[in-house]
Structure 1
Amino acid sequence: MLPSSGSRNPPLARIGVLPNLPYFVTDDGSPWTPIGHNDAITWPELAPLFRRRDMAAVERHLVWLRDHGVTCIRLMLEYCHGEHRYLERPAGRFVPNMVRFWDDLFVLLEKVGLRVLLTPFDTFFMWIRWRHHPYARANDGPCAARRTWLTCPDTRAAIKQRLAFASDRWGGSPALFAWDIWNEIHPAHGGDDPATAAPFIADIAGWLRDHEIERRGCANLQTVSVFGPELINHPSLVEAIFRHPALDFANTHLYEKGTIDAPRDTIAPALAVARLMRAAVTEAGPGRPVFDSEHGPIHSFKDRKRTLPDAFDDEYFRHIQWAHLASGGAGGGMRWPNRHPHVLTAGMREAQRVLSLFLPAIDWTRFRRRNLSKEMRCSDPGVAVVGCGDDAQALAWLVRTDATGRDGTMEARTDASAVTLTVPGLADGTYTVTAFDTKTGISQPLSTATASGGILRVAIGPVRTDVAVAIRR
């Protein structure tokens, strides 16, 4: 039997998208925002669910996440860093202990009120440890070489068989937010040919959608993730990732050399996220949700074997999530822990809780934003502005770029002067303006401001470190 600890939420509604709206809604029309992180079935917080070693501990953890504003976890159906968490072994035989793990987790997610972004393969370790994987031809699997994952007909059939099993068993759960049908799709998976991505997506996504509609009359949302730097190496991937007609939203992994992947301070990574997200929301177009489902200090952790100090990492995390949201992304992005142990800190969870408190300040069901980070202006040259807006609402994050201490974290500028924020694109009229402390979650309604000639100027007060601003007609 499942444990009974923790409160039970009302039944979950399913998540969907609406035409020309770049944010998510539930099937009853309410806004829903992915706030969450990457976890794995072998990492400390979920590992006790395997073989039901301590189910109550996992439920308590999920309740704690929910109470800190988390709405979604990103997980892979298998995590093949080792030999004991394959979903199939051999190919086509679904491992009973793994199936029970997922059965139990979906029950807990529904009970607690959380959702999962689910990807069927751990392609990173699958690639590195290919000789061990059950899909390898050497292990009586369907695929002769890892460079044919996207093109081998037998492998495609095996992928569809896995997705059919997962969809038939768990796809009817409202705890399933969406399928990330291929983790970090890469030209190497198709013989180093980026042109193999689009037909693979069309085939797998189209088949899965038809399968789910045939079984249940509706289909879950779908996306495909990409390691962000590959969009620079292979620009032709942009069309498949951001605009493929078979996908419901766009998804990228924000890693950038020298800023995000090995941070020296907490400002440069956030401004890199703002720049990358501006490109992402522009490429996806005005009506498609976009978010980052993986980021973090991967080079510092994986290559340099360094876990960032908690205070530094907490601020790095917090700045990145606000840059992501203010750029027009859905939510604050989903961190890959890249820490030892592989969990997010309590400070990061507090940052997620604070972000969740801000969300009601914007009507996401009507917010048809465009990125305005280059168009918004702050009167203080020491303050950078990241923002987005439409003709009735706007969102901005203002952060000082001249207040970094020797350890790379921010030192409050007590001598900061009051600033004026200029926002273009708003229809003429009167707007309410709310300033929001991103550390404490305390909001401060400012005096109303009037837009005239498509321009709104509002006095914000001094920006000593950073502040979020919500503007509504």
Structure 2
Amino acid sequence: MTDDRALDPDCSLADGPSPSPRPDPAPARTAGARGGRLPWIRVAGPGIPYFETETGAAWTPVGQNDAISWHELEGLFGRRDLAAAEAHLRHLADHGVTCLRLMLEYAQVRHRYIERPVGRFVPAMVRLWDDLFALCETVGLRILLTPFDTFWMWLHWHRHPYNRRHGGPLAEPSRFLLDPQVREAIKNRLAFAVARWGGSGALFAWDLWNEIHPAHAEGSAEGFAPFIADLSRHVRALETRLYGRAHPQTVSLFGPELGWRPHLGLEEPIFRHPDLDFATLHIYAEGTIDDPRNTVEPAIAMGRIVREGLAQIRDGRPFLDSEHGPIHSFKDRRLTLPEPFDDEYFRHMQWAHLASGGAGGGMRWPNRHPHSLTAGMRAAQRGLSGFLPLIDWRRFRRRNLSGDLGDPGPGAALFACGDAEQAVIWCLRADSLAPDGRLRRDAAPLGIRLSLPGLRAGRYALTAWDTRAGRPCGRREVTARDGVATEIEPPPFVTDVALAVRRV
């Protein structure tokens, strides 16, 4: 099953005739073998649930899901419009985006399989990824990479190259995690990607399996842990041999499965697998996040799920949402949310994620026509990125404090995380919803008082942040005393306000 040529970063495995000769992007084709210009990303340290570069600079994943066949990146295929793809990536970087989550193949359409047949890597797709990694190196973006689009693979199994009818090893996808021949094919695909692009700092991390699911293992989760261990050790060993270090690793889960199948013990492999470096969920809470009717309840659901996720982690590894959005509204009800509503919903979701203790603002699946974030969402990402330097993430051993700030009354929902020297707090108005589900901007400002526990004695800078405008809206100092909760009074706010608290 393993084709030795797949381990050669400069191989050219053909699926039919080779494409017509065109100028070769030399920096991309050898990025894996040479190493790239961007420093690699790593977990900041034991018990520090955030990320840094290998040169010691804080790095936070701010971004969303994208796809190689969606309109902003479709020009990469066949090099139809590399300039448009580069312009898109530069636009993202200009708005504070640091990371995209991408699938190595996107099986919704017929011509984005990276192998066809199994074990033979399609030149046009290899060149697409060569170009994309080169562009990300140039622009300064990273990629959270997952090897399979398991959703469309399942729905379009009748035409997938791993299907036995097309020369693949498997008759039905229900044994995808169990069949030994498939396992070798998966590892071969990962080995190809490691050898070709794994030397690049544009690779943030591996999502070794997208939405691992019992349906891929005949209805059981018993094989999840050994499956993850096999893929993880395979990738880590190869990266270490080739590059002397390894990229961080995770495995994602469709979050509602934790509630739908509590008997399967899904928490252990997702939150605590010893071979994984950070934990990820796809946060689609039913009736709020997946089908929002207002912009407050989804944020509350995000905060609750992040708090529950952190409680499952025992070693302080980072946790982040790697997929969220109005999936039920879009996919099942066939609704694209009105842009002003969706902008506010998006902004609330990312601040609930960050302030509750997640790394970054979460990674939206666009769920819009077309699959693209709006200008308002890009502005929200830039606003979040502007806030990030107010916290020293490389030293932030946060715990969730959302329920520990005292009672602000019915007018506000509170989201917070902190340690002995820093805290992030987000105060969201909850009593002024307009008929369209957004917060009223003509409401009277709300004043509240908070009691922040756990700060050691000393002086602290408190910066209030206008999340909509993306700029500070107040600064002052507060004094903490040992053993006493620190009283904090945010500036009165109409819709919401974020606070950064940091020891002077």
TM-score (norm 2): 0.91
The one of 408, 411, 417 equivalent to 1:388 is 417
Deviations 1:320-352 (A, max 9, x none): 000000010000000000000111101100000
Structure 1 residue 428 corresponds to structure 2 residue 457 = yes
Range with greater deviation from structure 2 (371-380 or 266-275): 371-380
Match of 1:363 in 2: 392
Equivalence map 1:38-187=2 (5 Å):
38-187=65-214
Equivalence map 1:198-209=2 (5 Å):
198-209=225-236
Residues 378 and 385, structure 1, Cα contact 8 Å, conserved in 2: no
Distance 1:225 1:426 in 2: 34
Residues 464 and 491, structure 2, Cα contact 8 Å, conserved in 1: no
Which runs of 4 or more aligned residues in structure 1 lie more than 6 Å from their structure 2 counterparts after TM superposition?
none
TM-superposed deviation, 1:248: 0.6
Residues 117 and 179, structure 1, Cα contact 8 Å, conserved in 2: yes
Distance 2:138 2:325 in 1: 30
Count how many residue pairs are aligned between Structure 1 and Structure 2.
467
Pair 1:421–1:286, CA change in 2 (3 A)? farther
Distance 2:135 2:97 in 1: 15
Equivalence map 1:444-463=2 (5 Å):
444-452=473-481, 453-463=483-493
TM-superposed deviation, 1:212: 1.3
Residues 187 and 196, structure 1, Cα contact 8 Å, conserved in 2: no
Distance 1:433 1:286 in 2: 29
Structure 2: tracts of 5 or more residues without a match: 1-22, 26-35
Residues 90 and 141, structure 1, Cα contact 8 Å, conserved in 2: yes
Structure 1 residue 194 corresponds to structure 2 residue 221 = yes
Residues 420 and 461, structure 1, Cα contact 8 Å, conserved in 2: no
Residues 267 and 401, structure 1, Cα contact 8 Å, conserved in 2: yes
Pair 1:416–1:137, CA change in 2 (3 A)? same
Residues 413 and 465, structure 1, Cα contact 8 Å, conserved in 2: no
Equivalence map 1:214-253=2 (5 Å):
214-235=241-262, 236-253=265-282
Match of 1:7 in 2: none
Q: In the alignment, residue 331 of structure 2 is paired with which amino acid?
A: K
Residues 65 and 366, structure 2, Cα contact 8 Å, conserved in 1: yes
Distance 1:80 1:287 in 2: 35
Match of 1:470 in 2: 500
Structure 1: tracts of 5 or more residues without a match: 4-9
Helix, strand or coil at the partner of 1:111: helix
The one of 422, 441, 453 equivalent to 1:412 is 441
Deviations 1:102-125 (A, max 9, x none): 000000000010010000000000
Distance 2:271 2:255 in 1: 12
Residues 120 and 163, structure 1, Cα contact 8 Å, conserved in 2: yes
Distance 1:169 1:219 in 2: 14
Pair 1:266–1:404, CA change in 2 (3 A)? same
Percent identical pairs in the alignment equals: 58
Residues 474 and 491, structure 2, Cα contact 8 Å, conserved in 1: no
TM-score (norm 1): 0.97
Distance 2:464 2:407 in 1: 14
Helix, strand or coil at the partner of 1:105: helix
Helix, strand or coil at the partner of 1:194: coil
CA RMSD of aligned residues (A): 1.3
Q: In the alignment, residue 85 of structure 2 is paired with which amino acid?
A: V
TM-superposed deviation, 1:240: 0.2
Match of 1:12 in 2: 38
Range with greater deviation from structure 2 (207-216 or 173-182): 207-216
Distance 2:444 2:88 in 1: 42
Distance 1:413 1:283 in 2: 41
The one of 41, 46, 54 equivalent to 1:27 is 54
The one of 17, 31, 36 equivalent to 2:63 is 36
Distance 1:467 1:257 in 2: 26
Match of 2:301 in 1: 272
